[in-house]
Structure 1
Amino acid sequence: MTLSTQIMTDEQRKSVALEYLKAFDHGGVTSSGGSILDLFSVDAQVYFPKWGLADGHDEIGRMFADVGGTLKAIKHHYSELNWIFSGSDLVVVEGTSHGEHRDGPWRAGAPDWAAGRWCDVFEIRDWKIHRCFIYLDPDYAGQDTARYPWLAEEN
């Protein structure tokens, strides 16, 4: 963990988180043409369900390649984001998305139980993401229904 040297406002932290989401929508490329990894501190941690915890740029890059390699397209719904600020370095954003996974398309709310709703918890300081824990259903195409009796009955 590094020492914090720059005071950031909640709006500045929000701008970093938005840049991260937009980079995902553009294949890992930021608005300045850089890599999404440029948004992270060198010792950052990222958690993704069914992948686990990635430490540092190399592991985060591998995680993003693994997860991103299953996605043909993704679009976050920016106008519907809910932001929670802690008064510290923590920022929580809840939102929806749609896109296409290699197993098929998804859209939040279609159906209500399927993928597309997510929540990210960020720790952002010194204009870098130091921690990003991603909470969502990684079954984007909604194929894992047999293990859930209430879903199996619908199909």
Structure 2
Amino acid sequence: MALSTQTMTDEQRKSVALEYLKAFDNGGVTSGGGGILDLFAEDAQACFPKWGLANGKAEIGKLFGDVGGTIRAIRHDYATFNWIFSGSDTVVVEGTSYGEHQDGPWRAGVPDWGAGRWCDVFEIRDWKIQRVFVYLDPDYAGKDTARYPWLAKA
């Protein structure tokens, strides 16, 4: 991991995290026209449920390709985000989303137990994401009823 050379404010870290989320909503393209991987440090880490830990940009690209290949469209509800700042490089954001997965649509709160609620934990230094761990239910379409029988009754 590279040594930190630039001091960033919480608002600057927030702007990097927002750019990351907006790039997902824009098919992996940032507002400047670059790719989402441009937002990451070379030795960054990312973790996604049911995929695991990705080390470095190449593995993160594979993670995003695998997961993104199952999602036809996604939108994050920016107006309702809850931001938590630690006073260090860590930024936590929880929010909701909606979209279309290959197995069907999802929207946070419809049904209440369904997909769409998520939390991301970032470490951001030198205008680059050093680490992002994503916490959500990857069963976007709510089809995992064999393992969770109460869902079939909902």
Q: Look up the SS of the partner of 2:66 in the other structure.
A: helix
Structure 2 gap segments, 5+ residues each: none
Match of 2:133 in 1: 133
Letter in 1 for 2:146: A
Give TM-score scaled by structure 1 length.
0.98
Match of 1:44 in 2: 44
The offset of 1:121, in angstroms, is 0.1
The offset of 1:146, in angstroms, is 2.4
Structure 1 gap segments, 5+ residues each: none
Match of 1:6 in 2: 6
CA distance in structure 2 between the partners assigned to 1:75 and 1:150 by the alignment: 28
Match of 1:27 in 2: 27
Match of 2:151 in 1: 151
1:15-58 Cα shifts (integer Å, max 9, x gaps): 00000000000000000000000000000000000000000011
- 4+ residue segments displaced more than 2 Å: none
The yes-or-no answer on 1:67 pairing with 2:67 is yes
CA distance in structure 1 between the partners assigned to 2:116 and 2:152 by the alignment: 20
Counterparts in 2 of 1:67-146, with a 5 A limit? Answer: 67-146=67-146
Match of 1:55 in 2: 55
1:82-125 Cα shifts (integer Å, max 9, x gaps): 00000000000000000000110000000010000000000000
1:41-76 Cα shifts (integer Å, max 9, x gaps): 000000000000000011000000000000000000
CA distance in structure 2 between the partners assigned to 1:82 and 1:124 by the alignment: 17
Letter in 2 for 1:112: D
Give TM-score scaled by structure 2 length.
0.98
The offset of 1:14, in angstroms, is 0.1
Q: Look up the SS of the partner of 1:87 in the other structure.
A: coil
**More moved, 102-111 vs 138-147:** 138-147
CA distance in structure 2 between the partners assigned to 1:72 and 1:45 by the alignment: 25
- Identical-pair percentage: 79
CA distance in structure 1 between the partners assigned to 2:149 and 2:73 by the alignment: 30
Report the number of matched residues. Answer: 154
Q: Look up the SS of the partner of 1:100 in the other structure.
A: strand
